[in-house]
Structure 1
Amino acid sequence: MERPLFIAVIGENDPTPRLAALAEAVGAEIASAGAVLVCGGLGGAMEAACRGAQSRGGVTIGILPGTRHADANPHVAYAIPTGLGHARNLLVVRSAHAVIAVGGRYGTLSEIAFAKVEGATVIGLETWELRRPGQDELPIQPARDPKEAVALALAAARKRQGH
């Protein structure tokens, strides 16, 4: 049995309408590809991405910071309460084969950092622009649109799946 790819979608709790639309389109593309969407399970970009995935019959997993299943957004199929607060950000990215960041604030930045420590590819849509002094390689691979973001994430995830 072939196991599905897991793609994490990370982003801010209060996105602009444009960022919410991008996150929703990313979720729809992930579901259309047959991959599983993993996120922090709450509102904002996470909810938009889950809504997009659900609209295409996709599977969504929310790794929640609190202890209540009921805290998950209505588009999360499988809620995993952790009681870990922001520390659950490590679990979100560790659960995925690749990560897509849509917008984002400091919580998203922590997830990006955890993903890079874990060796995961991070694809960015209108998110943080980071550069380490003395290094040419960007830690976040930029994408032009949701379709490209998901295609890049899937390619990276396929390489990492056996990891």
Structure 2
Amino acid sequence: MSDRISVIGGGSIPDESRTVATAVGRELATRGLTVVCGGRGGTMEAVCRGAKAEGGSTIGILPGERREAANEYVDVAIATGLGHARNALVPLNGDAVIALSGGHGTLTELGFAGIYDRPVVGLGTHDVPGLETVETAEAAVDAVEAALES
């Protein structure tokens, strides 16, 4: 079974952030890593689109009760009916976390990643303790792979 990497970031993002998220998804897929995300739009859709473009696998943990609400690039949609409380489940279901730019929801997921003791790599995200900051999608995936090997 491949490692799962949770990718967190904003639900509404500018084009520059979309490009970064897509690159992260592509890089994860080319290395055989499964994407876990919140399953909706913005960062989540872009990372899933990038992963699918390289033949990767994606899991979306949705806030609502309908699996059909997932973006079109999600392979496995998990409806939770939990709203924002589902933010605890996204980092929980990854072996490591890559954090991209985002707002309060991303910040809560970063907090849960710390609670669950997941390795966390940041690429243009919040500045929080324990976060390894990198500059590229490739460096982000290198860092999570190194953390999982140690």
Q: Residues 5 and 158 of structure 1 are in contact (CA less than 8 Å); yes or no, is this contact kept in structure 2? A: no
Equivalences for residues 1-163 of structure 1 within 5 A: 3-130=1-128, 138-159=129-150
Q: Secondary structure at the match of 2:72?
A: coil
* Equivalent-residue separation in structure 2 for 1:158 and 1:38 (angstroms): 19
Letter of the 1:38 counterpart: V
* Equivalent-residue separation in structure 1 for 2:145 and 2:42 (angstroms): 23
Question: 1:89 Cα shift?
Answer: 1.0
* Equivalent-residue separation in structure 2 for 1:41 and 1:79 (angstroms): 7
Q: Secondary structure at the match of 2:16?
A: helix
Unaligned runs of 5+ in 2: none
Unaligned runs of 5+ in 1: 131-137
Question: 1:157 Cα shift?
Answer: 2.7
* Equivalent-residue separation in structure 2 for 1:96 and 1:5 (angstroms): 8
Return 116-125 or 48-57, whichever deviates more. 116-125
Deviation digits for residues 47-84 of structure 1, max 9, x if unmatched? 00000000000000000000101100000011000101
Q: Secondary structure at the match of 2:130?
A: coil
Deviation digits for residues 92-114 of structure 1, max 9, x if unmatched? 10000100011010000000000
Question: 1:156 Cα shift?
Answer: 1.6
* Equivalent-residue separation in structure 2 for 1:13 and 1:157 (angstroms): 27
* Equivalent-residue separation in structure 2 for 1:17 and 1:102 (angstroms): 13
* Equivalent-residue separation in structure 1 for 2:85 and 2:68 (angstroms): 19
What stretches of structure 1 move > 2 A for 4+ residues in a row?
A: none
Q: Residues 29 and 150 of structure 1 are in contact (CA less than 8 Å); yes or no, is this contact kept in structure 2? A: yes
Q: Secondary structure at the match of 2:46?
A: helix
* Equivalent-residue separation in structure 1 for 2:149 and 2:30 (angstroms): 16
Q: Secondary structure at the match of 2:148?
A: helix
TM-score with structure 1 length normalisation? Answer: 0.90
Please provide the CA RMSD for this pair. Answer: 0.9
* Equivalent-residue separation in structure 2 for 1:157 and 1:64 (angstroms): 26
* Equivalent-residue separation in structure 1 for 2:120 and 2:40 (angstroms): 20
